[in-house]
Structure 1
Amino acid sequence: MQKVNRPVGLLAVGHAGVDIYQGAVPAVIPFLVFERHYGYVAVSGIVLAATLLSSVVQPLFGALTDRFRMPWLVPVSMTTAGLGVALSGVGDSYPLTWLAVALSGLGVAAYHPEAARLARAASGGSHLAMSWFSLGGNIGFALAPIVVAPILSAGGLGATPWLFVPALLGGSVTVIALRSITAVGPATSASKQGVDDWPVFLRLTAVIVFRSIVYIGLSAFVALWAQQRVGGGEFTGEVALFVLFAGGAVGTLLGGKLATSWGRIRTMRIAYAATIPALVGVVYAPGALVHVFVALVAVLLYIPFSLHVTLGQDYLPNRIGTASGVTLGVAVSVGGVATPLLGLIAEWTDLQTALGSLLVFPVLAWLLARTLPEPAALETAASR
């Protein structure tokens, strides 16, 4: 197994600290349904709050990090993400809850472009090393229901201020990581690093958007779906969320390893093709089998995740911050914009029909991935 250098390892731990708050939003949803009796559209709006602002501002943060070094932004944005979730359960006002979750989304948006730039510099450009950085975020996702469920089960939504603790811990680790990175290089260089291929990058962005619609749609409703399919109340729902997020961690590491043997584009195409029947299983498998297919879909959707990041950086070699902001941020979170429509379908028909409508998107991702070329920029680094 490849040894991870200390700065990348510390940044991965910090990445876990911030992505707990992306996973915390869907983990809080069953409690919002239980305590405040929110419907599908209302909880879809909460998911939208976490993703809409992030989608809008993340390219701006990416452009800024292409021009200026802003390592201080990483711990500051992490604490902002934690503060938003910590405030989300205070009071019982839907608009204030929406605004608190939106604040968390803003923190997440500010974090990813600069953190990804630092991780690329610290890793020497290896997409296998970047998969370890991405793994940190997946672990954060997976920890979210484990952290949220016991706290809110014991104290209800009024206990959300305790959820600020991971932000403090993650921010502290990130400060140590920044001190460890002694030669990350300037945010920009006077010499061109290659040719920015915007048409190909935009096709990659569309692939990530299609993936995002599937993943965020599942994360918003899989807990409620598991409760319907299996029974067992909130606990069953949190187990389904944990399976979804933990499967993502496995897929991220697997993607980095497969890419060294098969290449990034081939690995991506195979993963999206295999996602189609796995998602059918999530929607139609009986009983507890739904958990098995949720895990399988999570692994397959996350196999290309870190590969998206390095591909985007290769397609835009002179705009690493912009590429990172889009591939790690806007294209990932923009799927939340489609979630309210999913909620409407669920209210007009049922949740199974709504989840079944997601099947079109892995098909589109697979078809579009077939048009992407394999860049050569990181092939030497990728083999290390």
Structure 2
Amino acid sequence: MNKPVVIADGAPVAPASTVSPPAATGPVYVVLGGISLSHFLNDTMQSLIPSVYPILKANYALDFAQIGLITLVFQVTASLLQPLIGMATDRKPMPFSLAAGMGFTFFGLLLISTAHHYAMILVAAALIGLGSAVFHPESARIARLASGGRYGLAQSIFQVGGNFGSAMGPVLAALIVVPFGQPSLAWFSSIAFLAMIILWRIGRWYRPRVVPRKAAQLMRPVDGPSPLRTALTLAILIVLVFSKFFYMSSLTSYYTFYLMHKFGVSTQSAQLYLFLFLGAVAAGTLFGGPIGDRVGRRYVIWFSILGALPFTLALPYASLEVSALLSVIIGLILASAMPAILVYAQELMPHRFGMISGLFFGFAFGAAGIGAAIFGEVADRMGIDFVYSICAYLPALGLLAVFLPNLNRAAR
């Protein structure tokens, strides 16, 4: 029976027969750039759904609860399937599944552009959500594989593409969809075709680097938190993701309505204010991972959620200009959490990359979808202003970060 080898500082490492192949000498930026660009294209298409809510609301006389249900169908479809797809790819990696999954988004866009009934809109949203479920778990694994050991940087590059894509949705909606109407959504199916080509090329790079299932099982940590502590830590991380994306859903789904109601701005102007917030989210994501690599992920997680609390509390009482500034600050701070949370969870369970990636991306989508549905119902009953008064306290859940273990200390 092999025993752990002990190095000079007394930290145990796995025996040589179980150590995975050494990482590259540095990040593979071509692959990281490709997967980030694909994430950009994927989330650009997805972000068109909430960006055209004002159009759908006017065309089909929808109430806020029905608007929230569209988000719920999209987000829950993605969230429920992502962990299952991640578990399947842990067992058998599928290099070309990303290109195939993009086809669901392609057909979803075509369907929503021609939908004449509310039920067809829901089906289209479900198809786009299914495309997201296929994309995220395996692409997160590819980003880590191409990281060269700089895992936070790789996740930031990967995730910032998605956040910039989300930010582009309101701009494209303001410039194209609002003037040309719902049928113009079909034009964006060409983006899905471009993404399929890029992901097929990435799949060819990934295929010879697939880790067999037996080798992946040997990547379990030699030492670390107990199974109970691991489960509790994952639960805390999930609650933190819940607080982050529950609040974010109030902005991505209803911020345009809030600005139009409270300040009387036009639909196009409200979309541009939403773009400022989503652009700040993208910038915050880019910085969160590298900072976590340097100073520790626990500190980034702590600051990125709890640190937004003073600004979320001030938002419901601010003027239009100050609201825009506060939304940028909130986006910058909150967004820095996700790369750190995902890498922290991957290091907690390194033999379950796909499942962990699918769980956290999936829970993020699910929390956003549930939040959108609940906030829509609350907005119908109590008013849109009340929504921002109550959700302002969600970042206070960031206090739970104090219970996260130091993984480096646990390994020692």
TM-score, shorter chain, exceeding 0.5: yes
How many Å apart are 1:105 and its aligned residue? 0.7
1:376 aligns with 2:371: no
The one of 138, 146, 163 aligned to 2:188: 163
Counterpart in 2 of 1:61? 85
Counterpart in 1 of 2:201? 176
The one of 338, 356, 369 aligned to 2:389: 356
The answer to which of 368-377 and 214-223 deviates more is: 368-377
Alignment of 1:122-271 (within 5 A): 122-125=146-149, 126-181=151-206, 183-186=208-211, 188=213, 189=215, 190-194=217-221, 197-271=230-304
Structure 1: which amino acid aligns with 2:177? L
Unaligned runs of 5+ in 1: 380-384
How many Å apart are 1:38 and its aligned residue? 1.6
Counterpart in 1 of 2:377? 344
Alignment of 1:279-298 (within 5 A): 279-298=312-331
* Structure exhibiting the larger radius of gyration computed from Cα positions: 2
Unaligned runs of 5+ in 2: 1-25
- Find runs of 4+ consecutive structure 1 residues off by over 4 angstroms: none
* CA spacing shift, 1:86–1:376, aligned 2, 3 Å: farther
Alignment of 1:299-378 (within 5 A): 299-364=332-397, 366-376=398-408
The answer to which of 229-238 and 46-55 deviates more is: 229-238
Contact 1:230 1:236 in 2 (8 A): no
How many Å apart are 1:347 and its aligned residue? 1.3
Structure 1: which amino acid aligns with 2:85? F
CA distance, structure 2, for counterparts of residue 288 and residue 224 of structure 1 = 16
Percent sequence identity is: 25
The answer to which of 76-85 and 112-121 deviates more is: 76-85
Structure 1: which amino acid aligns with 2:373? P
1:91 aligns with 2:101: no
* CA spacing shift, 1:56–1:182, aligned 2, 3 Å: closer
Contact 1:24 1:85 in 2 (8 A): no
Counterpart in 2 of 1:47? 71
Contact 2:80 2:362 in 1 (8 A): no
CA distance, structure 2, for counterparts of residue 249 and residue 162 of structure 1 = 25
CA distance, structure 2, for counterparts of residue 174 and residue 281 of structure 1 = 42
How many Å apart are 1:124 and its aligned residue? 3.0
Structure 1: which amino acid aligns with 2:325? V
Contact 1:208 1:332 in 2 (8 A): no
SS at match of 1:342: helix
Counterpart in 1 of 2:16? none
Structure 2: which amino acid aligns with 1:112? H
* CA spacing shift, 1:82–1:211, aligned 2, 3 Å: farther
Structure 2: which amino acid aligns with 1:374? N
TM-score, normalised with respect to structure 1: 0.92
- Over the aligned positions, Cα root-mean-square deviation in angstroms equals 2.1
* CA spacing shift, 1:316–1:57, aligned 2, 3 Å: same
CA distance, structure 2, for counterparts of residue 260 and residue 315 of structure 1 = 15
Q: Tell me the matched-pair count.
A: 376
Counterpart in 2 of 1:23? 47
CA distance, structure 2, for counterparts of residue 3 and residue 52 of structure 1 = 33
CA distances 1:152-179 after superposition (whole Å, capped 9, x unpaired): 1232112221121221122222222233
Counterpart in 2 of 1:5? 29
The answer to which of 354-363 and 62-71 deviates more is: 354-363
How many Å apart are 1:4 and its aligned residue? 5.9
CA distance, structure 1, for counterparts of residue 208 and residue 284 of structure 2 = 30
CA distances 1:166-207 after superposition (whole Å, capped 9, x unpaired): 211222222222334465331532424316623212221221
CA distance, structure 2, for counterparts of residue 184 and residue 16 of structure 1 = 24
CA distance, structure 1, for counterparts of residue 284 and residue 260 of structure 2 = 25
SS at match of 1:123: coil
CA distance, structure 2, for counterparts of residue 11 and residue 272 of structure 1 = 27
* CA spacing shift, 1:243–1:82, aligned 2, 3 Å: farther
How many Å apart are 1:242 and its aligned residue? 1.0
CA distance, structure 2, for counterparts of residue 114 and residue 106 of structure 1 = 14
CA distances 1:279-298 after superposition (whole Å, capped 9, x unpaired): 12332211232211111111
Contact 2:83 2:355 in 1 (8 A): yes
CA distance, structure 2, for counterparts of residue 240 and residue 81 of structure 1 = 26
Contact 2:95 2:207 in 1 (8 A): no
Counterpart in 1 of 2:62? 38
SS at match of 1:370: helix
Contact 1:222 1:241 in 2 (8 A): yes
How many Å apart are 1:320 and its aligned residue? 0.7
TM-score, normalised with respect to structure 2: 0.86
CA distances 1:324-381 after superposition (whole Å, capped 9, x unpaired): 00122223433311322211111111101012221232111x122221123239x9xx
